[in-house]
């Protein structure tokens, strides 16, 4: 099949408006009990069946009287009333007996013997009486059309005697995951297969927005089969979403199939992630081709599927709250498209700081970790660090304020702490943390940098980059060593073995602490890096190195023991390194910081660290000040 290489780059708003203008939804109405209608949309004006209350009701506990018979009651000349003749006892909510028109509260009545009471002031007509229809009058509107039903609405509908109300049927959204590599069950998740996560995510989004999701099983990349599934989906649904196959690969059929069935309005929008989105109409129904990468899938669905459902339900665009924040890092972006960047947020010295997360369209965890989304408009080159930007919140701001911010080097220990303490950490490497702390953009900067002059970790950073107001909190010691395939088939026992023939090494990126350690060890042993095969090949995390060894693409890596253990690999220890935390002294009195310190100094933390293997908590929590360093 010939590839359609010409994907458009249409402006998002323009594409969406054109899409919406071509669709004429056939909305249907169903009848449901009010209590089954929460969050549904009224399909018509709904008027009261009964007045509420439908009788004149006593509004207080007391006595019912005829007001004109009480006008002579005075403090200096009390009036005596006889039960059954002049008054009757009533409780709140009781119907007012026909012959009476007023209620006196029991507190204002002196009860005498023999069924008599005394009052000292007259009762006004209709005082303490809820007249018929005080709340709702029969025939008057209770709810207008196109209103989203809330709990209090359900209460009012029932008070008005409505047992059934007209609401719009939910728009049915057919969701088709595609791709021969897509599986539904993790039991089938062999090498090269991908779990179908997107279609379940779409289904949840659709339900949240008020639609009814109907999901198909993954359809393989086969023109005929896919075409049959799409036909069925269009017949059975109001909206159809086809996931993946939206780009220009040899098996990306979506656009041409939809084109054969109806009209493709646009293929390719100026949105990143989400570029290859397809907007089409088949038999008057909207058909969306959404790209496969999970983040692209999420952003594209938010941008195009949500407005479709809102439009079907005649609801206004529901915007999330926005807030201003200061960027901790620069984010360059292309002029060509609108880009959506996931960010974490945190309050440092009362200022809200936004830190960008991974921008990869395949990194679904960036959406899980994000506190907010930052939109970089089309025709913008991006934003500079320190610039004030507006972000769209994904979490309540109050919750964000409870979090301690950490920017710097990553270690599994941070995840372990985050499980117990409100901690939001972003990983930029040690030097990224040092810069962020200097700029007041983080509370904590986790670091592990070796001083190549004396072989001591981190302490020199205080002298080199900070004034007396900064302190180093001793974190953990972690074992660094050689990560090797199980059984060590190539007999590697030390750094000098990296020089052996047929040994392929995998390195960490420039600037990474482990890379600096390797260079230090090589220098100490007088080894030249150019003699090591693979020295130039860089991975950015311990786990990526371990994965390379596991898959056989490398024979050895330098890294932490925990990574070797997780991947079930062999490990030969070389040295211990310190993973510590730099903080400003003033932060030590922050309650969030106190819980951080309490936890890392606890026995519970030490036990957890020991369980990880390759760690120890010898001096964890000790404070090192600039003056302490000899």
Ligand X SMILES: Nc1nc2c(c(=O)[nH]1)N[C@H]1C(S)=C(S)[C@@H](COP(=O)(O)OP(=O)(O)OC[C@H]3O[C@@H](n4cnc5c(N)ncnc54)[C@H](O)[C@@H]3O)O[C@H]1N2
* Residues at the contact surface with ligand MOO, assessed by CB under 6 A: 272-275, 291, 293, 296, 361
Nearest-angstrom CA–CA distance, 313 and 40: 9
Q: Indicate the burial class of 268 (C-beta count within 10 angstroms; 0-12, 13-18, 19 or more).
A: buried
Contacts (Cβ under 8 Å, ≥6 apart) of 208: none
292 binds, among ligand X, ligand MOO, none (CB under 5 to 8 A by kind): ligand X
What's the token pair of residue 536?
């130039």
142-159 CB burial, b ≥16 within 10 A, e <16 = bbeeebbbeeebbebbeb
Cα separation of 400 and 345, whole Å?
A: 7
State the nearest-atom distance from the C-beta of 251 to ligand X, in Å.
7
Question: How many CA atoms are closer than 13 Å to the CA of 198, on its beta-carbon side?
Answer: 31
Report the relative pairing of strands 172-177 and 212-215 from DSSP bridges.
parallel
Closer residue to ligand MOO in complex, CB, 272/584:
272
Would you call 166 exposed, middle or buried from its count of C-beta atoms within 10 A (0-12, 13-18, 19+)? middle
Closer residue to ligand X in complex, CB, 242/556: 242
What DSSP string runs through 195-238?
E--HHHHHHHHHHHHT-EEEEPPPBPS-HHHHHHHHHHHHHH-S
For residue 268, the minimal CB distance to ligand X (Å) is 8
Nearest approach in angstroms of CB 26 to ligand X is 29
Considering beta carbons, is residue 339 or 477 the nearer one to ligand X?
A: 339
Binding partner of 430, given ligand MOO, ligand X, none, CB within 5-8 angstroms per partner class: none
294 binds, among ligand MOO, ligand X, none (CB under 5 to 8 A by kind): ligand X
Min. distance of Cβ 367 from ligand X in angstroms?
Answer: 13
CB of 398 to ligand MOO, least distance (A): 33
Buried b (16+ CB within 10 A) or exposed e, 450-487: bbeeeeebbbbbbeeebeeebbbbbbbbbbbbbbbbee
The entry of ligand MOO, ligand X, none near residue 43 (CB within 5 to 8 angstroms by kind) is none
Instruction: For residue 444, give Cα distances in angstroms to 12, 68, 228, 351.
Output: 39, 77, 56, 15
Question: Taking the CA of residue 226 as centre, how many other CA atoms within 13 Å lie in the half-sphere pointing to its CB?
Answer: 26
- Rank residues 273 and 513 by Cβ distance to ligand MOO and give the closer one: 273
Cβ proximity to ligand MOO: between 11 and 83 the closer is 11
Q: Residue 514 touches which of ligand MOO, ligand X, none (CB < 5 to 8 A by kind)?
A: none
Query: Which residues are within 8 A (CB) of 296 and not within 5 positions of it... i.e. 6 or more apart?
Result: 273, 274, 275, 276, 290, 361
Q: What distances in angstroms separate CA 373 from CA 10, 111, 345, one per listed residue?
A: 22, 68, 10
Q: Residue 199 touches which of ligand X, ligand MOO, none (CB < 5 to 8 A by kind)?
A: ligand X
Residue nearer to ligand X on the CB measure, 128 or 251: 251
CB of 256 to ligand MOO, least distance (A): 19
Which positions lie near ligand X, rule CB under 6 A? 7, 177, 179, 182, 194, 196-199, 243-249, 252, 273, 275-276, 291-294, 296, 361-362
The residue number with the shortest CB distance to ligand X is 292
CB of 248 to ligand X, least distance (A): 5
How many whole angstroms separate alpha carbon 172 and alpha carbon 85?
Answer: 66
Q: How far is the CB of 277 from ligand X (least distance, A)?
A: 9
Minimum distance from residue 29 beta carbon to ligand MOO (Å):
37
Nearer to ligand MOO, 179 or 475 (CB): 179
Toward ligand MOO, which CB reaches closer, 3 or 336? 336
Of 272 and 410, CB closest to ligand X:
272
**Could you tell which of ligand MOO, ligand X, none binds residue 244, using a CB distance below 5 to 8 A set by kind?**
ligand X
């Amino acid at each position: 099949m010939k590839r359609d290489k010409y994907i458009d780059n249409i402006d998002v708003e323009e594409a969406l408006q054109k899409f919406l203008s071509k669709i004429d939804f056939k909305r249907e109405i169903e009848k449901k009990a009010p209590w089954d209608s929460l969050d549904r949309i009224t399909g018509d004006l709904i008027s009261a069946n009964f007045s509420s209350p439908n009788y004149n009701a006593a509004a207080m506990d007391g006595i019912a009287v005829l007001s004109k018979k009480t006008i002579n009651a005075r403090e200096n000349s009390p009036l005596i009333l006889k039960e059954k003749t002049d008054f009757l006892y009533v409780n709140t909510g009781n119907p007012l007996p026909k012959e009476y028109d007023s209620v006196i509260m029991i507190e204002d009545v002196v009860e005498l013997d023999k069924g008599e009471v005394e009052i000292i002031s007259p009762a006004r007509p209709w005082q303490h009486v809820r007249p018929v229809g005080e709340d709702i009058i029969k025939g008057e509107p209770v709810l207008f059309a196109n209103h989203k039903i809330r709990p209090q609405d359900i209460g009012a509908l029932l008070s008005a005697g409505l047992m059934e109300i007209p609401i719009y049927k939910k728009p049915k959204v057919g969701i088709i995951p595609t791709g021969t590599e897509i599986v539904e069950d993790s039991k089938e998740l062999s090498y090269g297969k991908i779990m179908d996560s997107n279609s379940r995510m779409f289904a949840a989004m659709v339900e949240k927005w008020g639609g009814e999701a109907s999901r198909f099983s993954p359809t393989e990349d086969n023109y005929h089969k896919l075409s049959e599934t799409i036909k069925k989906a269009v017949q059975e649904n109001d909206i159809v979403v086809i996931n993946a196959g939206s780009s220009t690969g040899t098996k990306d059929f979506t656009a041409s199939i939809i084109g054969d069935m109806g009209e493709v309005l646009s293929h390719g929008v100026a949105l990143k992630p989400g570029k290859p989105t397809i907007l089409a109409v088949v038999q008057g129904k909207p058909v969306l081709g959404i790209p496969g990468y999970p983040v692209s899938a999420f952003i594209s669905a938010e941008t195009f599927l949500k407005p479709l459902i809102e439009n079907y339900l005649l609801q206004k665009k529901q915007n999330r709250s926005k807030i201003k924040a200061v960027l901790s890092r620069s984010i360059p972006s292309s002029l060509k498209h609108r880009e959506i960047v996931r960010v974490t947020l945190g309050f440092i010295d009362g200022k809200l700081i936004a830190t960008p997360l991974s921008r990869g369209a395949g990194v679904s965890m960036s959406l899980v970790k994000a506190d907010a989304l930052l939109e970089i408009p089309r025709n913008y080159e991006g934003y500079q660090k320190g610039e004030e930007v507006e972000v769209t919140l994904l979490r309540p701001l109050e919750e964000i304020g409870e979090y301690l911010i950490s920017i710097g080097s990553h270690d599994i220990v941070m995840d372990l702490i985050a499980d117990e303490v409100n901690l939001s950490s972003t990983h930029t490497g040690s030097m990224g943390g040092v810069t962020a702390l200097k700029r007041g953009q983080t509370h904590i900067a986790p670091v592990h940098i070796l001083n190549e002059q004396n072989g001591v970790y981190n302490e020199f950073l205080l002298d080199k980059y900070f004034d007396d107001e900064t302190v180093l909190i001793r974190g953990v010691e972690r074992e660094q060593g050689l990560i090797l395939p199980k059984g060590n088939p190539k007999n590697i026992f030390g750094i000098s073995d990296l020089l052996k023939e047929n040994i392929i090494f995998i390195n960490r990126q420039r600037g990474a602490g482990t890379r600096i350690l390797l260079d230090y060890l090589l220098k100490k042993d007088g080894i030249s890096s150019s003699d090591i095969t693979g020295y130039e090949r860089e991975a950015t995390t311990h786990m990526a190195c371990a994965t390379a060894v596991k898959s056989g693409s490398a024979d050895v890596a330098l890294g932490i023991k925990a990574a070797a253990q997780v991947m079930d690999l062999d490990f030969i220890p070389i040295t211990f390194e310190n993973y510590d935390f730099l903080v400003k002294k003033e932060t030590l009195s922050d309650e969030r910081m106190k819980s951080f310190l309490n936890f890392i100094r606890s026995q519970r933390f030490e036990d957890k660290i020991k369980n990880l293997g390759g760690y120890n908590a010898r001096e964890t929590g000790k404070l090192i000040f600039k003056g302490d360093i000899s």
